[in-house]
Amino acid sequence: MKERIQRYFLWVTALILAMFCGCFLLMYVSPMKDVSLDLSVRSPDSLDYDPEQYDSKGWSVYTRQGDAAAELIPNGYGGYTGLELGQTFYFSRIMDEELDDPTLQLDANENRYAVWLDDALIYTDCPELDNRIGHLHLPMNEWLRDNPITISLPADYYGKTLTIAQSFPEWTETGSVTAWPASVRLYCGFAYESSLISETAKTMLLAVPAFLLTLTLLAGFAIRRDWGILCLSLVAFHWMTQRLVGTSFYFRYFISTTNMWQAALPMISTLGLLCYLTLRGGTRRKLLWVPVIGYALCVGCDLISLAVFPKFTSIFSFMVFLTNGLPSWLALSGLVTVLVMGSLWWRKENMFYRFFIPLAFLGIAISWTVQIFFVNRGFVLEQIAAGLAGGDISYVYSHTQSGITIAALLTAAAEMIRTELNRHVEKRLVEQRRELTMAGYENLRRQHEEVMMLRHDMLRHLNILHDMGGDERRTAYLTELIGQNQRIRPIVESGNEMLDIILNGKLGTAVDAGIRVDIQRSEAPPTLPLSDPDLCALVMNIVDNAVKAAKTADTPYIRMNIHEKDGYLVISCENSTGTPYVESPEKYEAVPKHGLGLKIIRNITERSEGTMLIEHDPDRVTVRVVLPLT
């Protein structure tokens, strides 16, 4: 009771810590409010403005030579006239917006810029020039910028005058001379960093569990050598990569000109899911391999086509169908076949599908409920019809597959938990049986000692009576009794005391039960490299299994052969049986009730670096154990 309370306390403590850590991480999932101000002289919708109501947002646009400044004339649409070709112009305003971590962004293209706060230079494209207001002549760029110019303003920027110098081309195709000041945006830098942190936290909250699930499945495959678990790990790996590839900063790290990963990973994940569900199937699961192999061939062709033709055009219509339409049709047909066959296995023979089928239909129902009532409310049928009209079933397939995938992962997790619990229960039962075996051996040993003492005392009493003399008939009778007592021999005399005690006790019980016992050879060294508990558990389980099986036969017998050969001890036990032998029956009991004897024999043999061989016919079973003597 005390241990149970301690275990519950540990679980509750772990749950509280997990909830605390989760709440702490959720703080980073919600980004700060993005305060962003558009300070542009012109905006993307400036052509819709009325020129007479045009708002310059506090900007003054002018040219300047030394201290002489000339105001430019606004055209009401964000453009200014009154300057010459190749002349640098300025636009300035007082910064009366107050933000934390102020950051200035200029949407620059081929122009060059210099920026001042009051008269202090804070940015320039041409540091080699005379960067004073009114003394600057900026040239044009020979290329277009890929990213805007980002400038961090000092904390004391409020109330100061922001001045921006912008270059102007030396020629124009239209002949008109109009300057268009760059778009200017002021935003909080913390908000931008917060959005990146938030996106990273959201990504990791989903990617890290998927990564841990992948590692767990791979560890399970390494332990159990279950290929289905390896196939399922591909699904978890796809979930992880899907989250990572979908981030806004993915292309900052991985620049790709093809859609290879985005197209290949979902197909490989689906192939792994189909293989996993097929490997978990029951009888006639070979039928499931037909759509799986077809889909695998399609995936292989698809990957080759993506490698050879990374970007398709309309002339490759067949290839477009090969990469978009055909895989979805094959995958959907495979999943439908799994659901149909799984429904047949549900009640009869397969525990996996007994859990999976209800979860799969529930997952599909939830997935489509979300689509119908929340995501594409009122447009689901139009989406399906549009896809079918173009031969594309990907919409139907993707939302069906998502429910099945979650059901498969939940069922796999339940199966692993159940297997682990059964393993612990089985381990506890093995230990209990080991203790009972040792207790049985101690009883046999005590009985053997008591019988030997009684036999010794009885023989001494008979000798005393014989020596006392008397009539000849009594003397002859006592002589016969003494001879019979001396001729009594145990069934087994191998040379190893423990082995003899176990075999004589167990085989004696078998003889009393009407089982014929045949000892072909009985040779063993006085000491063995096994511990007493292991030797006791090994031999008693071998004999107990043989006795139990022989009782079911029409002609019950047990044939033992124990001998040394080339530095090994060979223990061979053959017995008749009336029931067919099944080496690894599929059982679904919550607590295993049968097969522990063979598991104990196999574990002890492997622990002693020996080998175990089982030969079986319809009417006999032979267990042969070979143990090294050094």
**Residue 57 in this model has a pLDDT that exceeds 90:** no
DSSP code at position 140 = P
Cα–Cα distance list, 330 to 44, 98, 148, 298 (Å)? 47, 59, 46, 8
More confident residue, 249 or 575: 575
Residue whose token pair is 């099945």 = 404
- Predicted confidence (pLDDT) per residue in 355-369, tens digit: 899 999 999 999 999
Q: What number of helices (H) and strands (E) belong to the chain?
A: 15, 17
Strands 516-522 and 557-565: parallel
Query: How confident is residue 314, by pLDDT bands cut at 50, 70 and 90?
Result: very low
**Residue 101 in this model has a pLDDT that exceeds 90:** no
More confident residue, 395 or 24: 395
Query: Are residues 335 and 400 in contact, defined by beta-carbon separation less than 8 angstroms?
Result: yes
Query: Are residues 601 and 577 in contact, defined by beta-carbon separation less than 8 angstroms?
Result: no
Closest CA to 599 of 355, 409, 422, 365: 422
Min mean pLDDT across 75-79, 113-117, 155-159 is at 75-79
Please tell me the predicted confidence (pLDDT) of residue 238. Answer: 86
Which H, E and C letters describe 3-52, residue by residue? Answer: HHHHHHHHHHHHHHHHHHHHHHHHHHHCCCCCCEEECCCCCCCHHHCCHH
Distance CA 473, CA 481 (A): 12
What is the b/e burial string over 501-530, where b = at least 16 CB atoms within 10 angstroms of the residue's CB?
A: bbbbbbbbebeeeebebebeebebeeebeb
Please tell me the predicted confidence (pLDDT) of residue 78. Answer: 81
**Residue 76 in this model has a pLDDT that exceeds 90:** no
CA angle in degrees (0–180, nearest 5) for 333-334-340: 90
More confident residue, 215 or 265: 215
**Region 405-431: what's the mean pLDDT?**
81
**Residue 190 in this model has a pLDDT that exceeds 50:** yes
**Residue 451 in this model has a pLDDT that exceeds 70:** no
Q: Which two tokens stand for residue 350?
A: 């397969």
More confident residue, 186 or 264: 186
**Residue 482 in this model has a pLDDT that exceeds 90:** no
Query: How confident is residue 588, by pLDDT bands cut at 50, 70 and 90?
Result: very low
Min mean pLDDT across 154-158, 231-235, 379-383, 439-443 is at 439-443
**Region 43-58: what's the mean pLDDT?**
60
Query: How confident is residue 182, by pLDDT bands cut at 50, 70 and 90?
Result: very high
Residue 400 has, within 13 A of its CA and on its CB side, a CA count of 16
DSSP string covering 277-340: HHHT--TTGGGGHHHHHHHHHHHHHHHHHHHH-SS--TT-HHHHIIIIIHHHHHHHHHHHHHHH
**Residue 508 in this model has a pLDDT that exceeds 60:** yes
